[in-house]
Amino acid sequence: MKKTTKKPAIKDIAAEANVAISTVSNVLNNKEIVSEKTRKRVLKAVEKLNYRPSVIARGLRTKHTNTIGIIVPDIADPFYAQVIKGMEEVASKKGYTLIFGCTYYSLEEEGRQIELFSDHSVDGLILFCGYDGYDNVRAIKQRNIPFVMVDREVNDLEIPSVLVDNKYAIESAVDYLHSLGHRKIGYLTFSFKHQTTVKKRYEGYCSGLKKKKIKYNPDFVIIDDSIKLDEIKGTKRILKSYFGSKKLPTAFISFSDIPAIGLIKALDIMNYKIPEDISVMGYANIAFCEYIKPTLTSIKHPKKLLGKTGVDLLLDIVEGKKIKTRRIILPTEIVVRQSTAPV
């Protein structure tokens, strides 16, 4: 039975190597003032005792923890998972550790997470989610934590953000469908109270129609709060009830991919052929656009890039570098697949 030895501290190394504590510290932090000879000795002691400095203790002293907090609505959503992957890659490469929390789309929970991260003395914070609401943003500012917002537009230009032009994206979708000859274009979304991205997409739909001189037809627009982002069953059910009475457009744009898939499922059940009878477009271009049948035309929202850019920007701020742009807008792109066709 191996004896349970405590984790060695810097003073144990100092004792082992017969040097002062500060010398060990200097070696560890690559200060060039230590003689090669003692450096070697210290390193040997470190090796021998399997020593690793405590980030906690160091953090208490230096006021930085090499940790950044990530707040997302829902880690299980492949959309956010992809963004987080981008973040993880950059952070890991730059020597930062990620701690994260989910809000499950609740502003209150978001506030709780912010406090929690503040308690943990994160060096910076990323707020990812298209909410309105300044209260939490204000709380971060007040706590003086460097932070960037990703995918959330607020009017305060002071706040560094990485954004996607959601409005333009859907406008271009309308444009694309118009070029295929569609004039009756429907839109599917859930209701938007606090989510600016969802609202902007809807605005893009409206302005897109206007640009093409198409009259807005409320019969073609489905705004339903019970549409779920992470399951299609509910969406399917809802849509079936819609389609009973109404005349359908020749094309639908959905504000998100999963509901678009629910839409396709529902239309399939009602014996509409996609894309022969009705074209369907999603938004986000998640991996599964490729896997379903027909494959789903979608709009590429740069997920990993969003994550990467967010962390890059945040770390630039944290590390006090000069920031060129406080507001980075990433481009979208239509990815044409089988679910859309000429009328």
Partner DNA sequence: ATGAAAGCGCTAACAC
Partner DNA sequence: GTGTTAGCGCTTTCAT
Residues lying near a copy of itself in the complex (CB under 8 A): 4-5, 7, 50, 52-57, 59-60, 65, 67, 74-78, 81-82, 84-85, 88, 92, 97-102, 115-116, 118-121, 142-144, 230-233, 258, 261, 265, 268, 287-288, 290-293
Is the CB of 6 or the CB of 247 nearer to DNA? 6
Is the CB of 11 or the CB of 293 nearer to DNA? 11
Is the CB of 216 or the CB of 291 nearer to a copy of itself? 291
Dist CA 265 CA 48 (whole Å) = 63
CA 156-114-111 angle, 5° bins = 80
Least spacing, CB of residue 111 vs DNA, in Å: 20
Whether the bond into 275 is cis, omega within 30 of 0: yes
Dist CA 66 CA 341 (whole Å) = 50
- Residue 102 touches which member of DNA, a copy of itself, none, C-beta under 5-8 Å by kind: a copy of itself
Binding site for DNA (CB under 7 A): 6-7, 9-11, 18-23, 25-26, 28-29, 33-35, 37-39, 53-54, 57-58, 60-62
Least spacing, CB of residue 264 vs a copy of itself, in Å: 9
Q: Exposed/middle/buried for 162, CB within 10 Å: 0-12, 13-18, 19+?
A: buried
Q: Exposed/middle/buried for 199, CB within 10 Å: 0-12, 13-18, 19+?
A: buried
- Residue 143 touches which member of a copy of itself, DNA, none, C-beta under 5-8 Å by kind: a copy of itself
Dist CA 181 CA 175 (whole Å) = 10
Is the CB of 58 or the CB of 265 nearer to DNA? 58
Dist CA 52 CA 40 (whole Å) = 16
